[in-house]
A and B are shown apart, each in its own frame.
Chain A
Amino acid sequence: MSVYSISEITTFIKLHLENEPVLRNLSIKGEVSNATASAAGHVYFTLKDTNAQIRCVMFRPQRNRHLVETGVSLIAQGTISIYEARGDLQFYVEDVISDGSGALAAELEALRSALEAEGLFEPTRKRDLPRFPRVIGVVTSARGAVLHDIQNVLSRRYPLTELCIAPTTVQGPDAVTGVLESIQRLNREPNIDVIIIARGGGSLEDLAAFNDERVVRAIHGSKTPIVSGIGHETDTTLSDMAADVRASTPSAAAEISVPSVDNLLTQIVEMSYLLGSELGTIVAQRSQSIQTARSHLGAAKPQFTRLYQQIDDLLQISFKSVKATYVLQSETINSLRSRLETLNPAHVLGRGYSVVTLESTGEVIKSHTEVAQGAKVTATIQDGTIHSVVTDVSPIESEQLTR
């Protein structure tokens, strides 16, 4: 048996390929993927169908290179040979034409305008999505990256929800029936708050089920709101147009359907802070009333600045602990509770002070000038009220006040 060098054998293959009349000038139909243009202006791409693919190159001088775009279907004309440096079988493309997508696009456009005229895409009939969905139904393939992507997004963004998968094939002859069946089954399930219909990117033919009139009508008629995430950013199907919310990709559909845990936690922290600051305002107002009353009674000034500082500390504690741990532990709550107790102005009364109000108006008496002999007043003390009649009113000398 002879032993050949690699160069010898690739040259041998090349000669055979180039001498084969069928391979010397032929047309191949397929979908373009991985199209890239080199700096020199050549276009490299892959032509594929569902079962096979072939590497292609279209050199700079060739016309119609601009038609080569990932996702489009083409008929390419050229020669098959081998690129010896890599040992790659390659299709050297000389010209390309679009593959009947014109007819398909015209048909699709006709259906689109008919359904639009019927009102299936009316923005006014689109429903809002629930803010906190408990169960999300998903219509997609049980296999592949799409379902995985959706699960990942929901786990990360809002794991409080439950995912209910109605698997279906999303391509090929059974896709329409499968998608219809899945939409119907999810509509029959109790408690589903929103349905995501998703599929990865593909050619117009791959997405055909989502441009099928029956599927579009089922989306329009769904009692549960539907979010569509079909194909890539640039793909828009009639299903997208009929959906309540259109997302550009399956992952984006999952994102749109749920709030984000991070944002919610931030909101909850802010709300905890707001609760504290509102309470702080109320406490400060009450403290001010007592302070005023006390100063008019000639008592020493109480330590309200300390009280305010404590309120501030309290707010900082609740804010930080929620933010740092996402969870306020019960001991923090207990500590907040006991510290709040110490801030309660009722405790000021507990130390023997009282607030005196005029019975006729309910106003706190801040000056001896506000009350006359014979007036009825109420003194509020720690555990009750004392109703009295004023027998005498007299001012306090200034040296007594500053004592």
Chain B
Amino acid sequence: MYLGGLVRKEFGRIRSDKRTLLLLFVIPIILIVVFGLTTGVGITKFFSSAIITCDDMPTYDDFPNNSSKYDDTFISIMQYNTSSWDLYRYYNATNSEEFDNAYHNCYNFLKNGDIHIIIILPANFSESVENKISPVLIYYIDGSDLAAITAIEVAIQEPIALFRAETDMIANFTMMVPYLEFDVPFWESAILNYAIPLILPIIILGTTINLTSLSIVAEGPLPRMLVTPTAKREIILSKLIANSVIMMLQSTEIFIMISFFGLYSLGSLFYFFLVLLMIGFCGICIGLFISTLSPTEQSANQMYLIMFIMIILFSGSVLPLNADLQGVQIFINLLPLSNAVPLITDITLKGLFPNLENLFWLNLSSLIYIILAYIIYMFKKLEV
């Protein structure tokens, strides 16, 4: 009965701040609508290239007959026929001076990020093709883009395969044919659905942590309440209950909105909704933890931001982390995003039952944050 009164008071406090409430429900709608409209296909990496052909230069030794028959074929394939390449510029170098100038220009394109690769067709390119000797392609890539280094080597196989087919060099040729399992079908919004496992938890955590991170630190009459028979644990419990109800409403709204805006889910929508609630609950526990720890509103805001940055950076979903290191895995598991992303991926794209280990860690982390919040609040000195 007494707790009921406190919860009602808490609701009254939240309701008095109508703008925050409005924002809590409007931000997810705006973001889901915006990303729902982002319907492009996002998984194919698109590379931009510049080609320098030296094929017109004379060749000697093994190649008595000079030829420059095939460089145009390769350039044409790069320009028109490939699905993952775009030809930014090409240069025909007939002597070393022209080559130096062309390379200098291409180097600057690479440096400015206009292209990902410089491909050089050597002087004996056409001769090698004609004589059925392994032709050589030389390329320079932007080594600073870690993800692109190996991806380019694989992607270059596409124009090479097309070139081999064009020049009838199909003997002794081995290649892979990729089939994507658990991918988003082409008629669904690919970007939205690949982004859902990351973006939805970020929105829910961002808003729920913000909702609760000021709930204790900003409340003026809190010390006066302690003069009454109200216990600290009742105060914190009432805040947890009231904010959880708001979070449930927000999660329901997100669930409905995302279903309307092209959610592709192979798995149970009930589990999906359940996971959203668990993520939201974890956000509330983190928010309360921040609120009890912070002495002022400004420091609560500051802590909210730092916590939010750490949740994103150390989730393992945005940056690759070395989880083999002792302690790192536990640290990662205690951050909600590292469990939320695989849980949603498993349900939506694989149609699986939520992974029990991820569920365990997500709920354990909520428990740890709320226990810490309670302990800190118990020892916190408030001037009555």
Partners in one complex: no
